[in-house]
Amino acid sequence: MTSTTSSFKTGFAEGKAIFFWSLRRGRGILVLNATLQFLLFPFLTFLVVQGGRREYQENSYQQERYTLEEYLYNSFCSKSQAVFYGSLLVGIALCFILCAFLFGYLHQKRSVDLMHALPVGRVPMALGKFCAGLVILWLPILICFLLDLLLTVVMGVAGAPSFVPFLIGKMLPSLGWNMATLFTCLAVFLFFAVCCGTLLDTMISVIAVNVFYPMLLMFVWTNVAEQIPGFSTDYLGTGGPLDILIQIGSPLFAGFITPWMMTSRLLGNSLLMLAVGIVLVIASCLLYRYRKSECAESGFAFPLPKYIICFVATAASALLAGQVFQYINDTVVSYLAGLVIGSLLAHSIAEAIYSRGFRGLPKSFKAYGVFAVVFLIGYASVATGLYGYDTRVPRADQVESVEVYIPTQYLSQGYSGDVFSFNVQKVEMDPDGMGYTSTKSLVDLKHILRDTESIEKTIAFHQAVIDQYRQDLYPYLRPQSRYYKDITLIYHMKDGSEMKRVFSSRIYEEPDGDTEAELRLVDLFNVHEYRTCGNYLYYLEPDSIADIYVEFPHTETAVSAPVIGESGATAQEIESQTVELTLSHEQKEELLAAIRQDIDEMHVTQVEPLYYLDEPKVSIDCMEPFIPQGEALKELLGDNYTPGSRVIFSETMYFSLGGNYPHTTAVMESILEEYR
């Protein structure tokens, strides 16, 4: 114990000496960083707030709407995120300089002779230099941030009621993210400086891993999603595994993009970023202890990162070339040719860069062979359905419930584009009550089916879709972006697990005639629970309806057109007539009741309504802020809702009148009659 304590004290003293020496030598970079951060934080704040003050004093309209503090606060907020981003960019750029300054000694034989002969352990040396780098990066940011805060107090910005929530909710998390990112960026440089033999290789490796790794992940992710039926397509910014993998493997890239994509998760991401940085620092220290001094100026001290980077760059380039070739010529052969050509080119370029020439290229094809085998195994796995992933269907008796999101033209279930995002939001109204300043999601409407019949019919539909995929696309040799995924099935299993699958409705819509999947979908649609569960129409209240627009069927007009050759051509000009209706409270109630009755009683025989194009289209603008009155909505909102506050639905409703909406059609006709 005494020995350990003594060793720690000695190491600490050694690290301290290196730390202060490095800090002294790096004071130029410190001053540079401080100057840039000063320009970004207090100086820019001063300019922005001063400008805001002048605008406010010159604009009487703004004076009526806002207090001076509120106006200055708005000006301050508008520049805040950009400032934090700018500050982060400056810090990341300085990491490159700091890498050369702090860890460059590892890459010169002469400096290694000096530094490694010193009575300083390698770990204290690395940590002393790393900490000096951190101080150079962090100290100016912290001081300038505090000066910024002081300035907001002095200039009156902090007097705005929203300032403290903004400080806690946005500024401090952004500051934390910046500091965590810079910590990890410096750790990345330390790690590669230890692994590489030259500074150039260090820089190349850091850039390569931060460019090609996220590129590879995104290509793999999108390709797998587009190739394998059912594979979920959660992209960047959703906080999913893709984001976590990118943050772990390429912190510089994550540092750049995360503040824009996941502002609400910055705290968690900061902690993850910090954890990645700590792991990198520990790994660097462990590797440094075994690093051979003689590898300075020559290749890699630890070649594994080089092989991994070459592998990643080759794979990413192969997939990129595959996409490009497929875009040029949409065939499997073209896609495969792209994979091969892209990977060969990328491998040769990577080898030429790392070996400073092509002399080692023939030998390097052994590594390419390993890459090819691994890539082929991965490709074959995807092409054959990822070991049964594509055909996996749960048994009905294992399923507790299933969330079903399928676009349909019979009724609106909150389907917007290819995302189901229907929710009820809390609204902050403007003081004049004319508009609203912000919204906050209170509850998402979910279409969760629990009845055994619903589950069985969902599974039957699922199985039919899979069969259709297998029949049309198996083996899945290339990404099929045209089959965009718009169907989501999420099974909540009795054992607590979850199984999510997403599919494209195109797979069963495109073939002629009724496919098995379409028949199974009709079966599902005729289940009452499917139509009514989670359907927001059952939560709408008359006050939520603003206006109703009725678009009558197309009237086609033949117009003359230029004659081409011997045959004449005609163009069709499509005209439509839209009527805007404003209903009384009673009419709205009557309309809602009719819609609900139609949905309750609906029975369909085919997936798409035949009369769709010939019937008037109705869109109900139900995005009027209102105070909930009905028990159904109050129950849905639960504890999330503050009584008396206004809410708003996130989507409006579209449907076609006709056979499936007889009661609604009758009500609408009577209203239209009145209108006429």
Partner 1 sequence: MIEIRSLTKKFGNFTALDSISFSVGDGSIFGLVGSNGAGKSTLLRTIAGVFRPDGGEVLIDGLKPFENSAVKGRCMFISDYPYFFRQSTLSDMADFYRRIYPSWNENRFEQLCGIFPIERKKKIIEMSKGMQRQAALICALSTEPEYLMMDEIFDGLDPVIRQLLKRIVSGEVSDRNMTVLIASHNLRELEDLCDHVGLLHRGGILFERELDALKLGIQKVQAVLRPMPRPEELGLDLVTCQIRGSLIELVARGTQEEILARLDRFHPTFVEALPLTLEEVFINEMEAAGYDIDNILV
Window of 112-120, 340-348, 526-534, 593-601 that interacts with partner 1 by CB under 8 A: 112-120
Per rule CB under 8 A, is residue 9 in the interface with partner 1?
Answer: no
Question: Of 119 and 565, which CB lies nearer to partner 1 in the complex structure?
Answer: 119
Per rule CB under 8 A, is residue 55 in the interface with partner 1?
Answer: no
Instruction: Give the other-Cβ count within 10 Å of 568's Cβ.
Output: 10
- d(CA 197, CA 561) in angstroms, rounded, equals 73
Per rule CB under 8 A, is residue 121 in the interface with partner 1?
Answer: yes
At closest approach, how far in Å is the CB of 189 from partner 1?
19
Contact map string, positions 396 to 435, toward partner 1, x by CB under 8 A: ----------------------------------------
At closest approach, how far in Å is the CB of 158 from partner 1?
43
Pick from 57, 162, 240, 294 the residue near partner 1 by CB under 8 A: 294
Instruction: Give the other-Cβ count within 10 Å of 578's Cβ.
Output: 11
Question: Of 112 and 489, which CB lies nearer to partner 1 in the complex structure?
Answer: 112
- Enter the DSSP assignment of 441: E
Question: Of 11 and 378, which CB lies nearer to partner 1 in the complex structure?
Answer: 11
- d(CA 119, CA 142) in angstroms, rounded, equals 34
Torsion of CA 528, 529, 534, 538, to 10 degrees: 40
Cis-peptide, bond into residue 616, ω within 30° of zero: no
Per rule CB under 8 A, is residue 563 in the interface with partner 1?
Answer: no
Torsion of CA 29, 32, 34, 40, to 10 degrees: -140
Question: Of 25 and 54, which CB lies nearer to partner 1 in the complex structure?
Answer: 25
Pick from 1, 60, 64, 117 the residue near partner 1 by CB under 8 A: 117
Per rule CB under 8 A, is residue 359 in the interface with partner 1?
Answer: no
> Could you tell me how far CA 169 lies from the centroid of its own chain?
20
At closest approach, how far in Å is the CB of 479 from partner 1?
44
Question: Of 18 and 155, which CB lies nearer to partner 1 in the complex structure?
Answer: 18
Question: Of 23 and 246, which CB lies nearer to partner 1 in the complex structure?
Answer: 23
At closest approach, how far in Å is the CB of 106 from partner 1?
12
Per rule CB under 8 A, is residue 114 in the interface with partner 1?
Answer: yes
Pick from 120, 137, 427, 637 the residue near partner 1 by CB under 8 A: 120
C-alpha separations of 656 from 46, 110, 403, 529, 539 in Å: 56, 81, 25, 21, 20
Per rule CB under 8 A, is residue 286 in the interface with partner 1?
Answer: no
Contacts of residue 544, defined as CB under 8 A and 6 or more positions apart, other chains included, come to 622, 623, 624, 626, 648, 649
Pick from 8, 9, 20, 359 the residue near partner 1 by CB under 8 A: 20
**Backbone phi and psi for residue 537, each to the nearest 5 degrees, phi listed first:** -60, -25
Pick from 9, 27, 54, 292 the residue near partner 1 by CB under 8 A: 292
Per rule CB under 8 A, is residue 501 in the interface with partner 1?
Answer: no
- Both structure tokens of 304: 């594994």
Per rule CB under 8 A, is residue 1 in the interface with partner 1?
Answer: no
Pick from 9, 27, 54, 289 the residue near partner 1 by CB under 8 A: 289
- d(CA 80, CA 35) in angstroms, rounded, equals 18
Going by C-alpha positions, the residue among 408, 409, 406, 407 that lies closest to residue 611 is 409
Question: Of 293 and 463, which CB lies nearer to partner 1 in the complex structure?
Answer: 293
Pick from 58, 61, 119, 643 the residue near partner 1 by CB under 8 A: 119
Per rule CB under 8 A, is residue 25 in the interface with partner 1?
Answer: yes
Per rule CB under 8 A, is residue 384 in the interface with partner 1?
Answer: no
3-state DSSP assignment of residue 573: strand
Buried b (16+ CB within 10 A) or exposed e, 523-555: bbbebebbbbbbbbbbbbbbbbbbebebbeeee
At closest approach, how far in Å is the CB of 318 from partner 1?
32
Residues 153/45, Cβ–Cβ less than 8 Å: no
Pick from 108, 348, 398, 619 the residue near partner 1 by CB under 8 A: 108
Q: Using only C-alpha atoms, what is the Rg of the chain?
A: 32
At closest approach, how far in Å is the CB of 123 from partner 1?
9
Number of residues in contact with partner 1, rule: CB under 8 A? 24
Pick from 35, 74, 293, 481 the residue near partner 1 by CB under 8 A: 293
Per rule CB under 8 A, is residue 21 in the interface with partner 1?
Answer: yes
HSE-up of 77 (CA within 13 Å, CB side)? Answer: 18
- Enter the DSSP assignment of 554: P
- d(CA 213, CA 474) in angstroms, rounded, equals 29
Pick from 71, 73, 90, 122 the residue near partner 1 by CB under 8 A: 122
Contacts of residue 6, defined as CB under 8 A and 6 or more positions apart, other chains included, come to none
- Both structure tokens of 644: 């008396």
- Give contact residues for partner 1 (rule: CB under 8 A): 10, 14, 17-18, 20-21, 25, 108, 110-114, 116-122, 289, 292-294
